[in-house]
Amino acid sequence: MRVMKFGGASLRDGAAIERSLRVVERAARSQRVLLVVSAQEGVTAQLARAAEEAVRGELGAWDALRVRHRSTLTQLDLAGDLLDRHLRELRAILEALQTSARLDRRMRDYVLSFGERMSARVVAAVLRKFGQAAAPLDAYDLGLTTASSQGEGALLRAPTRELRARLEAVPGIPVVTGFLALDPAGNLTTLGPNGSDLTAVWFGEAVAAEEVVLWKAVEGFMTADPDVVPEARRIPVLGRHEAVEFAVNGAEVLHAGALEPAERGGIVVRVADVAAPHAPGSRIEAVTPHVGPLGIAHRESVALYKETLSLGRDQGAQLAELLRELSEAGIEPHRASFSGRELVVLVSDDERTAAFAARRAPRATLERGHASFAVVGRRIGLDPTLPARVAALAARVGVALIPAPGDTSSASQAYLVPATALTPVVRAVHAGLFGATPTKESGELLPHPHRSAPSERSA
């Protein structure tokens, strides 16, 4: 079975949905296909706003969601009442929220679930209109179970072999909701941004797929974000370890957790571009074929949260406690370390973090206005010459690098710069590391003359 996942951008509107499903139709001629779908682009964020507004007593966002989905149905020439049941259920929940004092995670996830649930219905209906048998399925009915403190995809019970049998029994193409699961108490949970990637690979594991294709609105993994570095190039093949490093260092191509089931199941994950369905995209295999720099990931706006340690108490326990409190406040720690008597955590630079730090002052301080970037590549972390090379490239544009907190992974080296200097620095580093690299006919990167091959020891 071939698993194909379509992200929000590839389902943005009626035209995008039809274009994406032509790709499915072609694939389904030669192979059985399992589809996993995201919400239409922007809908998850719209639902999150709707939930927050409902708690404040407003229902305007529901109307916007209804209009958006109705117009998708019109564009696709589908029955206007296809989503009425879901829209009514959503409205009833939002109305119930109006009498709640606050929005808890359980209710928020319930509201968020409508994006994927509705898009699965739309996608299945379009396939049927194309003359292709298809059935929408909610992933949480198929046994995907996560912890209740969801948001980032801690899977408790993965889909099993029975699931495989169930999917195989579906006449036509199963169209499964991404991003959604249940906790052991039966509440809906969500899997965090790009969570559908994770769903797709979990299902890929369950059905023993050889390949899972994630269709997105990007060419694939790139040597840098093309919005920052216009010369950025597609990376044709990379290893799982490096793909994870891109994700954890801020590249939004893929959900980092998606590569765990890929590893377990020996599944090749391919990121493909819906706008260029015949282009090869990026293949994520077990190992990156070349040693050395592959690309640069970045975060535009980060801050260093620092907190004084209490002496005489276990430092690790204090860090663990802080990380838990950050997570409860909805703040994702990107990297963390001890430095002397201090805990240092790299977080995103926003009002939520600022408020968290203010509540814990004077023990806590927040150093704002940074950006971070990481050079990613096989055995990069073991290359002792890289920091000096990167520092020299940054110095060419007059910027001094600040060391990023936390350990160096074997597949990346991370740095901080003033946020205003991110673009020139990333461009200079990209030009220095990748600028002169020609590409072969196949699109495969040739080894760069400066790429060093550090020892194999701890890779």
Smaller CB distance to Mg ion: residue 8 or 220? 8
Q: Least CB distance from residue 256 to ligand ASP, whole Å?
A: 13
Angstrom distance (rounded) from CA 163 to CA 215: 23
Q: Which does residue 118 bind out of ligand ASP, Mg ion, none, counting CB within 5 to 8 angstroms by kind?
A: none
Q: For residue 184, is the peptide bond before it cis, meaning its omega torsion is within 30 degrees of 0?
A: no
In the beta sheet, which residues pair with residue 189?
Answer: 181
In this complex, which beta carbon is closest to Mg ion, that of residue 7 or of residue 295? 7
Q: How far is the CB of 6 from ligand ASP (least distance, A)?
A: 9
Closest CA to 236 of 223, 253, 217: 223
The angle that helices 60-75 and 84-97 make with each other, rounded to 10 degrees, is: 170
- Strand 237-239 versus strand 282-285 pairing type: parallel
Q: How far is the CB of 137 from Mg ion (least distance, A)?
A: 20
307 vs 303: CA distance, rounded Å = 13
User: With CB under 5 A as the contact rule, which of the stretches 1-9, 64-72, 184-192, 301-309 interacts with Mg ion?
Assistant: 1-9
Q: Name which of ligand ASP, Mg ion, none residue 14 binds, using a CB cut-off of 5 to 8 Å depending on partner kind.
A: none
Distance CA 5, CA 293 (A): 29
281 touches, from Mg ion, ligand ASP, none (C-beta below 5 to 8 Å by class): none
Structure token digits, residue 275: 């706008």
The binder of 179, among ligand ASP, Mg ion, none, by C-beta within 5 to 8 A per type, is ligand ASP
Contacts of 287 (CB under 8 A, 6+ apart): 239, 240, 241, 378
Q: Judged by CB, which is closer to ligand ASP: 137, or 319?
A: 137
Minimum CB separation from Mg ion for residue 282, in Å? Answer: 17
Which residues lie near ligand ASP (CB under 6 A)?
Answer: 7-8, 38-39, 44, 115, 178-179, 193-196
Using the contact rule CB under 5 A, the part of the chain among 3-11, 266-274, 293-301, 415-423 near Mg ion is: 3-11
Residue 193 CB, nearest distance to ligand ASP (Å)?
Answer: 4
CB of 10 to ligand ASP, least distance (A): 10
Taking the least distance from each CB to ligand ASP, the nearer of 69 and 290 is 69
Binding segment for Mg ion among 4-12, 110-118, 173-181, 256-264 (CB under 5 A)?
A: 4-12
How distant is the alpha carbon of residue 295 from its chain centre? Answer: 18
Q: Specify the residue, 109 or 307, whose C-beta has the smaller distance to Mg ion.
A: 109
Q: In whole angstroms, what is the distance from residue 31 CA to residue 37 CA?
A: 19
What span, in angstroms and rounded, lies between the C-alpha atoms of 338 and 90? 45
Interacting partner of 236 out of ligand ASP, Mg ion, none (Cβ under 5 to 8 A depending on kind)? none
Provide, rounded to whole angstroms, the least separation between the CB of residue 40 and ligand ASP. 9
178 binds, among ligand ASP, Mg ion, none (CB under 5 to 8 A by kind): ligand ASP
Report d(CA 287, CA 353) in Å as an integer: 36
Which residue, among 243, 207, 181, has the nearest Cα to 378 in the 3D structure? 243
Q: Is 379 left (phi over 0), alpha (psi -120 to 50) or beta?
A: left
How far is residue 253's CA from residue 33's CA, in Å, rounded to a whole number? 23
**What is the rounded distance in angstroms from the CA atom of residue 168 to the CA atom of residue 403?**
51
What value does the CA radius of gyration of the chain take, rounded to a whole number of Å? Answer: 23
Q: CB 368 → ligand ASP: shortest distance, Å?
A: 26
Q: Which is nearer to Mg ion, 240 or 255 (CB)?
A: 255
Residue 85 CB, nearest distance to ligand ASP (Å)?
20
| CB-based contacts of 304, cutoff 8 Å, min separation 6 | 344, 345, 346, 366, 367, 370, 405, 416
44 versus 282: smaller Cβ distance to ligand ASP: 44
Query: Which residues does residue 34 pair with via DSSP β-bridges, in sequence order?
Result: 3
261 touches which of ligand ASP, Mg ion, none (CB within 5 to 8 A by kind)? none
Q: Please list every residue from 6 through 45 that binds Mg ion, using CB under 5 A.
A: 7-8
What value, to the nearest 5°, has the Cα angle with vertex 328 and ends 65 and 335?
A: 105
Nearest to Mg ion of 190, 409 (CB atom): 190
Choose from ligand ASP, Mg ion, none: what does 115 bind? Cβ within 5-8 Å by kind. ligand ASP
Cβ of residue 179: shortest distance to Mg ion, in angstroms?
Answer: 8
Amino acid at position 100, single letter: S
405 interface partner picked from ligand ASP, Mg ion, none, CB below 5 to 8 A per type: none
| Sole window of 2-10, 18-26, 233-241, 337-345 interacting with Mg ion (rule: CB under 5 A) | 2-10
Q: Which is nearer to ligand ASP, 48 or 323 (CB)?
A: 48
How do beta strands 292-308 and 342-348 pair? antiparallel
Q: How far apart are CA 292 and CA 152, in angstroms?
A: 30
For Mg ion, give the closer residue by CB, 190 or 353: 190
Contacts of 361 (CB under 8 A, 6+ apart): none
Question: Which does residue 195 touch among ligand ASP, Mg ion, none (CB within 5 to 8 A, set by kind)?
Answer: ligand ASP
**Using CB under 5 A as the criterion, which residues of the chain lie in contact with Mg ion when the complex forms?**
7-8
